[in-house]
Amino acid sequence: MQSKQIQQAVAALLPAFRDHGRLVALDPSCRPTNRAEGYEVQAALLNAVGEPGVGWKIAATSAAGQKHIGVSGPLAGRLLQSRCLADGATVSLAGNFMAVAEAEFAFRIGRDIKRVGSAPLSVSEVMASVEALHVAIEVPASRFEDFAKAGEAQLIAEFACACFFVVGPEVATDWRSVDLKDHQVSVTCNGAIVAQGQGSNVLGDPRLALTWLANELLDHDRCLQAGDVVMTGTCVVPVPVKPGDAVVADFGAFGSVSARFT
């Protein structure tokens, strides 16, 4: 895309992102048509927002999720400092017509993840750069009225439906010796269990999801950096929420994380 087209796309997306507004679609004259163009707009949008990115999210890490938003595979989106909330936070649903909560594993990166040569990084190479594991809740939101028809390039451009995310405490147990794909997760809403799942719902294994992201970014001239938090995708079917609801994501021995909605 030409610089002028990228800036036109950003000019349309920025107010919708800041004010939790909606778009039907980007104008065809500045609409990204593939992943590479989507990431170009995404990077420019982050710069225009004017605050630091604190990491990444992976959208559509299950076949059902990919079908739900009409994409062929996972998408990478930016996470912003102002939308990173602590355990127990109150989360606004203003303008959020998706209105769901997702229970996720979140990795914190300890050192920049790069590669030598063109071969994809392996799971062991990527995991060697992970500093910590956290349990988390994501509350996604799209800027497009019909996000299921926006297409992957536009969704990437708007941060892949990233919005608020609640990060719980660092997992203190020896999580590296646990097979994360078999780890059970449940979600309660107002005290009742409403969803159950496991790590395998995240691209087969949250570690595989993180490895996909590391390679996806490198393929588009970006990389995971020290300090980044990575939300790897939901372990459960997204839980519908409304103002007044209280949600707890229980990761068993790894602990739990909670959020209230307003």
pLDDT at 144 over 90: yes
Residue 10 sits in a domain whose CATH number is: 3.90.850.10
Asked if the structure places residue 83 within a domain, the reply is yes
With bands split at pLDDT 50, 70 and 90, how would you rate the model's confidence at 60? very high
Residue spans of alpha helices (H) in 20-171: 35-49, 63-69, 123-127, 152-157
Q: What are phi and psi of 51, to 5 degrees?
A: -140, 160
Which pLDDT tens digit goes with each residue over 205-241? 999 999 999 999 999 999 999 999 999 999 999 999 9
Whole-structure pTM value: 0.96
Asked if the structure places residue 129 within a domain, the reply is yes
Asked if the structure places residue 136 within a domain, the reply is yes
Asked if the structure places residue 108 within a domain, the reply is yes
pLDDT of res. 124: 97
Q: What are phi and psi of 136, to 5 degrees?
A: -155, 165
Asked if the structure places residue 214 within a domain, the reply is yes
pLDDT at 89 over 90: yes
Q: Point out which residues pair with 89 in neighbouring strands.
A: 259
Whole-number percent of the chain with pLDDT over 70: 100
Break the chain down into helix, strand, coil percent, rounded to 5.
35, 30, 35
Asked if the structure places residue 153 within a domain, the reply is yes
What is the number of domains present in the chain?
Answer: 1
Asked if the structure places residue 56 within a domain, the reply is yes
Q: What are phi and psi of 180, to 5 degrees?
A: -60, -25
Residue 129's domain comprises 3-87+104-169+202-235
Asked if the structure places residue 250 within a domain, the reply is no
Distance in Å from the first CA to the final CA of the chain: 39
| Sheet strand arrangement including 184-189 | 89-91, 256-261, 246-250, 184-189, 192-198
